């Protein structure tokens, strides 16, 4: 990443093979000038279009990380610990991907630091391979000492969160429903939510745009063709619950 500040850094995670959600998100992304795209993992798993989502993200993402479902699809994580729906989807996904696609996933890192600016990971900044979640302010508390950068971007929970640690050491959650002005004295853990399977009760795809010049973080929610994504999941023979949950955002 070149050292000049970028206006439109796009962070997203957990596309989970939902091509309809990804396509709708791409329209929003490309409405922005020179988007610099960062994918925080779980490109595949759950949804019916792992190959299509992989192809799209491989072309456009400047930075791409691995998530637990990407690892599951290539046998790098134990799916016995997955719930039955996730396990079934992981096996199905693995059968869809060819060797070349699997080798791309194998090469993805679990974490990345960018020029002293950001720390990026799917799960947590330390021991990402344990796949712990950062959902609440309490979850975030233990992880602030685990990175040196001002902002750590994560995914994995499918639930947006902005946790701030002020210059005085106070911790608080910021409302992510409107743009957030970052304080240069504070540090942040930002959970970017999920494009392909949001779980915060809002069924729309979720992504984050960060303007480095203005230091403003904005969450975007994007409606997409839910009916089609659901239909494809059923048609693929994946568990019906994986289709149902999309419309409730759970
Ligand atoms: Zn996920």
3-state helix, strand, coil in the chain (%, to 5): 35, 20, 45
- CA 4 to centroid of ligand 1, rounded, Å: 31
Please list, in sequence order, all residues whose beta carbon lies within 8 angstroms of the beta carbon of residue 227, skipping any fewer than 6 positions away: none
CA distance 41 to 43: 6
> Taking 80 as the threshold, does the pLDDT of residue 4 lie above it?
no
Distances, alpha carbon 110 to alpha carbons 10, 63, 120, in Å: 18, 11, 8
**pLDDT tens profile 156-204:** 999 999 999 999 999 999 999 999 999 999 999 999 999 999 999 999 9
**According to the model, what pLDDT value does residue 218 have?**
98
- CA 37 to centroid of ligand 1, rounded, Å: 18
Q: What angle do CA 60, 55, 52 make, to 5 degrees?
A: 125
- CA 142 to centroid of ligand 1, rounded, Å: 21
- CA 167 to centroid of ligand 1, rounded, Å: 32
Q: At 6, phi and psi to the nearest 5?
A: -110, 145
For 188-205, the DSSP string reads EEEE---SSS--SS--SE
- CA 81 to centroid of ligand 1, rounded, Å: 14
- CA 173 to centroid of ligand 1, rounded, Å: 22
What is the pTM assigned to this prediction?
0.96
Q: What is the DSSP letter of 182?
A: P
**According to the model, what pLDDT value does residue 3 have?**
59
**pLDDT tens profile 55-113:** 999 999 999 999 999 999 999 998 998 999 999 999 999 999 999 999 999 999 999 99
- CA 67 to centroid of ligand 1, rounded, Å: 7
Cα dihedral 209→218→16→122 (10° resolution): 80
- CA 136 to centroid of ligand 1, rounded, Å: 17
CA distance 22 to 42: 13
Strand partners, 119: 113, 152
């Amino acid at each position: 990443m070149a050292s000049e500040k970028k206006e439109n850094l796009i962070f997203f995670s957990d596309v989970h093979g939902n091509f309809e959600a990804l396509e709708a998100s791409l329209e929003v992304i490309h409405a922005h000038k020179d988007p610099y795209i960062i994918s925080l993992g779980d490109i595949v798993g759950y949804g019916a279009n792992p190959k299509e989502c992989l192809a799209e993200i491989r072309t456009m993402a400047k930075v791409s990380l691995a998530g637990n479902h990407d690892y599951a699809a290539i046998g790098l994580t134990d799916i016995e610990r997955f719930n039955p729906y996730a396990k079934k989807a992981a096996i199905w996904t693995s059968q869809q991907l060819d060797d070349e696609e699997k080798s791309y996933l194998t090469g993805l890192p679990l974490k990345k630091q960018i020029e002293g600016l950001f720390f990026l990971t799917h799960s947590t900044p330390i021991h990402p391979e344990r796949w712990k979640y950062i959902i609440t302010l309490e979850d975030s508390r233990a992880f602030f000492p685990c990175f040196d950068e001002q902002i750590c971007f994560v995914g994995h929970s499918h639930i947006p969160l902005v946790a701030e640690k002020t210059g005085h050491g106070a911790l608080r959650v910021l409302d992510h429903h409107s743009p957030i002005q970052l304080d240069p004295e504070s540090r942040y853990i930002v959970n970017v939510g999920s494009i392909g399977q949001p779980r915060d009760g809002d069924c729309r795809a979720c992504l984050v745009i960060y303007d480095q010049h203005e230091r403003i973080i904005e969450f975007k929610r994007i409606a997409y063709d839910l009916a089609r994504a659901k239909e494809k999941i059923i048609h693929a023979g994946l568990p019906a619950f994986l289709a149902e949950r999309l419309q409730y955002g759970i």
